[in-house]
Amino acid sequence: MLISPSEGPSVDEAPLLHIDLDAFFASVEILDDPSLKGKPVCVGGVGERGVIASASYEARRFGVRSAMASVVARRLCPDLIVLPGRFDRYEVYSRQFHDVVRDLTPDFESLGLDEVFCDLRSLRRLNVRPIEAAAGLRSRIADELGLLCGVGLGRNKLFAKLASKKSKPHVVDGRLVEGPGVVWVSPDIEQEWLRELPVSALWGVGPATAAKLEKLGLHWVRDLARVDELTLAAHVGASMAASLAAYAVGEDRREVIVDREMKSVGHDQTFARSLEGIDQLTQTAKGHAAVVARALRSQGRVARTITVVVRFDDLTSVSRSQTLSFGVDDEVAIAAIAEALLQSVDLHHAVRLLGIHASSFLERENNQMQLTFAIEASSDNARERAAIVSRERQISHEALRDAVDEVRQRFGRAALGTASELSEHGVEIATQRGRHAFGPEARD
């Protein structure tokens, strides 16, 4: 009934996506200290009155939950490891999480550090299915951040969020049961499904409201649907009553509130016929770079960070970024950086999507170090102007060459190695290879 189908709904059937990182704070602690792996770990207050903020699934097996008093949690699980939070680390991961989401669509709303709603409607023209988008997000977050997450798809925020909850692992009789990872609540079953949920599953129904509703004999969403809104309002207030009455019948008019401040400009393309090999890819990248450069110039911006995103036929994705010491708005420069980044990608499968994104904007007039190839020199003298242009070009070319070298040193040239040569630490090995074979002495 709850489906993670291979094809799944269209964007029109499931325009909203909710994604939520699993046990976020606890998972970051485990990533930073692998000796914690497999142990019951919590982040929370360690004192007498401390509360659990995040619990690993290992801890949840003992009944430990977030918002539980730490004292109670310790009683349930005597070996529980409770760590104080390190929000600077969580913010680093959160930013990377948002970067991955932004690569899919800029139309997202973040709730806290580890939860996002996406409006998928702009993906319609890219021909991306919501299930594909969800799977892509999950695999990139696993590959690039080392974190797991659940994704829900639905026709509104209510269903998307309920679905993502359903997609996650859960504990049954002290055993951890894997979740499906992606859940879509299809329209033909949604009413029936919703009616069987406890009232506490609904948005905004915390323990206090749940207790009030229970007292009124309203345990399930189907009970709520029977009560008229005025009666409800007398107990929980008018605005909560209005929300509950709407949710009880599956209605939710809240929009995704996108942070409109633009943070990146990009061009993504899914190909009708997948690309194979570095040559096809770099050729296509030139066109992408031109689109991105035009967009930057039209906005009067220059960007310091160039990101390439490659999605393979097996739906796995890789992204690589380089932040430059100068800003660019020029297609030659963007293409050169993108090409160097692409050469670090192991092209073990054909490529179905290529994206190039520019971010970390500088205002054009404030950019001291803009790399530019077409200079409008102020001098009236043609010869003087030509001399300035040629000197600026030389400086630009040198800066660009340094930047490309830096990319190669950072990432190496995996494309020239074979997949079998890349171990788990493939990038390191590739970098070493790159340093020998394509160091400063090498041409290009």
Residue ranges in contact with Mg ion by CB under 5 A: 20-21, 24, 114
What does residue 424 show for φ and ψ, rounded to 5 degrees?
-55, -35
Exposed, middle or buried by CB within 10 Å (0-12, 13-18, 19+), for 163?
Answer: buried
CB closer to Mg ion, 168 vs 267: 168
Q: How far is the CB of 113 from Mg ion (least distance, A)?
A: 9
The CB density around residue 441, as the number of other CB atoms within 10 Å, is 5
Q: Say how far apart CA 118 and CA 164 lie, in whole Å.
A: 12
Choice among 7, 13, 48, 115 that is catalytic: 115
Helix (H) or strand (E) holding 414: none
Bridge partners of residue 353, in order along the sequence: 270, 311
Q: Say how far apart CA 275 and CA 323 lie, in whole Å.
A: 26
Q: How far is the CB of 330 from Mg ion (least distance, A)?
A: 41
Q: How far is the CB of 204 from Mg ion (least distance, A)?
A: 17
CB closer to Mg ion, 100 vs 227: 100
CB closer to Mg ion, 114 vs 119: 114
Q: Say how far apart CA 149 and CA 182 lie, in whole Å.
A: 9
DSSP at 64: -
- Decide: 225 and 195 in contact? Cβ < 8 Å: yes
Q: How far is the CB of 112 from Mg ion (least distance, A)?
A: 8
Q: Which residue has the tokens 């030659």?
A: 332
Q: How far is the CB of 114 from Mg ion (least distance, A)?
A: 4
Q: How far is the CB of 22 from Mg ion (least distance, A)?
A: 6
Q: Say how far apart CA 16 and CA 254 lie, in whole Å.
A: 11
What does residue 353 show for φ and ψ, rounded to 5 degrees?
-140, 135
Closest CA to 270 of 307, 303, 309, 320: 309
C-alpha distances in Å from residue 208, one per residue of 37, 214, 215 = 35, 10, 11
Let me know if 115 is a catalytic residue.
Answer: yes
How many residues are present in the chain?
Answer: 444
Q: Say how far apart CA 268 and CA 119 lie, in whole Å.
A: 17
Q: How far is the CB of 398 from Mg ion (least distance, A)?
A: 47
C-alpha distances in Å from residue 324, one per residue of 55, 434, 442 = 38, 20, 22
Q: Residue 92 corresponds to which tokens in the numbers above?
A: 């680093």
CB closer to Mg ion, 16 vs 430: 16
Just list the catalytic residues.
Answer: 115
